[in-house]
Amino acid sequence: MTSKLIENTIRPDVRALSSYHVPDASGYIKLDAMENPYQLPERLRNELAMRLADAVLNRYPVPTYATLKQKIRATLGVPEGFDVILGNGSDEIISIVISAVARTDRRTVIMAPVPAFVMFARSAQMAGCDFVGVPLTADFSLDREAMLAAIAEHQPAVVFLAYPNNPTGNLFDEADIEAIVEALGDTGIAVVDEAYGPFAKASFMDRLPRYPNLVVMRTLSKLGLAGIRLGYLAAGAELLEQFDKVRPPYNVNVLTQVAAEFALDHIDVLNAQADAINAERSGLAAALSALPGVTVFPSRANFLLVRVPDADSACSQLLADKIMIKNMSKMHGLLANCIRVTVSTPEENTAFVDALRASLETR
Ligand SMILES: *Cc1c(COP(=O)(O)O)cnc(C)c1O
């Protein structure tokens, strides 16, 4: 009975999907999700607790989110004359943007260089769009000619460019991105996804006034607040007005709103944590590069993409040692035998290097 019900109701492509798998991490050193390993200092957490106690939980959020948006504009470099919309994580913003362009009367193409963040393709599929992935070059640069040719051929409504890119960790060449934005012109929207901006210290935000079809998406997740789920998209007023119609009116809850406003008042604390993680990244990269048969790719994010002799065996041995990382080797041909590891505290990084070294020796 149930299987008939599922067959009669649920879309075939949804039935065919496997769900986004998030393994249970209790008891593990968790280096698979690019989380900040540090919490807010206790003093700030106590202060936040008092703010949260005062949050008005019996009312719906005020859907303009005026104070939070004002703090985002003031703290995070949104240019004068530009505003933001908020999302329940940038994952929601990705689907808001795609929903706003997904047509029912003809094919709509969403494009990104690949390997890319998986939610670009998945959200496109959910909205009934075609996803076109254009392979990066062997050194993970944008293939400018291939991107421009694919844009001319497929006329994508949206091109997503993660800057730095996940899972490769590198920053694409600025001129390549600008060429793509210009090629899209008034036929497509370029979304520069700056989830790792706090680590890269590079941004397209200041280019918003130059390109009407450019929008910049960011999140507080990788900066240290993955649990509260807050993403935002900065764009010109005309595009924002349209995206805002697609956004569920109360999509950011009151607790998130209060916590985010508080965090932005203490953004220096989070930025200092990001700087500490950046400093750790150099040491971790050097330690990994010294291991036999291991290649570390340059990263401007809070993770490293690492090629090992045998990714499957490394991952299973790390799991046995209670260390969780991400095996990327099946995701794309360019990522053969690659693993992705979050840069964490000195202790956890050392535990990872030791366990990886041991796994290479017993292979
Ligand atoms: C992690 C990540 C996101 C998702 O961020 P949330 O705000 O937590 O939904 C978006 N884009 C990229 C490239 C990411 O790596």
Question: Cα–Cα distance between 116 and 168 in angstroms, integer?
Answer: 8
| Residue 234 host element (H or E) | strand 231-235
pLDDT of 309 strictly over 70: yes
Residue by residue, what is the 3-state secondary structure of 260-315?
Answer: HHHHHHCHHHHHHHHHHHHHHHHHHHHHHHCCCCCEECCCCCCEEEEECCCHHHHH
Whole-number Å distance, alpha carbon 91 to ligand 1 midpoint, is 6
Q: Is the beta carbon of 194 within 6 A of some atom in ligand 1?
A: no
Determine the 3-state secondary structure of 205 from DSSP: helix
Best residue for ligand 1 mutational test, from 196, 221, 328 (most atoms within 8 Å of Cβ): 221
Q: pLDDT value at position 22? A: 74
- Which residues partner with 135 through β-bridges? 114
| Strand 303-307, strand 295-296: pairing | antiparallel
Half-sphere exposure for 202 (CA within 13 Å, toward CB): 14
pLDDT band, very low/low/confident/very high, at 363 (cuts 50, 70, 90): low
Lowest-confidence segment of 23-37, 116-130, 132-146, 335-349 by average pLDDT: 23-37
Whole-number Å distance, alpha carbon 219 to ligand 1 midpoint, is 7
Q: Which CATH number fits domain 58-265: 3.40.190.10, 3.40.640.10, 3.40.50.9100, 3.40.718.10?
A: 3.40.640.10
| pLDDT tens digits, 254-274 | 999 999 999 999 999 999 999
| pLDDT tens digits, 32-61 | 999 999 999 999 999 999 999 999 999 999
| Residue 110 host element (H or E) | strand 109-114
Question: Cα–Cα distance between 282 and 279 in angstroms, integer?
Answer: 6
What is the average pLDDT across 8-17?
92
Whole-number Å distance, alpha carbon 203 to ligand 1 midpoint, is 16
Q: pLDDT value at position 18? A: 80
Q: Do residues 140 and 163 touch, judged by C-beta distance below 8 A? A: no
Q: pLDDT value at position 65? A: 94
Residue whose structure tokens are 């492509």? 13
Give the start-to-end residue ranges of the domains of the chain.
2-41+268-361, 58-265
Question: What pTM does this model have?
Answer: 0.96
Joined together, the tokens standing for residue 289 give: 């590069």
Identify the DSSP state of 254. H
Class (C level, CATH) for 2-41+268-361: alpha beta
Nearest CA to 76 among 208, 169, 256? 208
pLDDT of 300 strictly over 90: yes
Q: Is the beta carbon of 193 within 6 A of some atom in ligand 1?
A: yes
What is the average pLDDT across 304-331?
96
Question: Cα–Cα distance between 347 and 350 in angstroms, integer?
Answer: 5
pLDDT of 319 strictly over 90: yes
CA angle 329, 330, 334 (to 5 degrees): 60
Q: Do residues 224 and 264 touch, judged by C-beta distance below 8 A? A: no
Q: Do residues 269 and 41 touch, judged by C-beta distance below 8 A? A: yes
Q: What percent of the chain has pLDDT over 70?
A: 99
Whole-number Å distance, alpha carbon 142 to ligand 1 midpoint, is 20
Residue nearest to atom 1 of ligand 1 (CA): 195
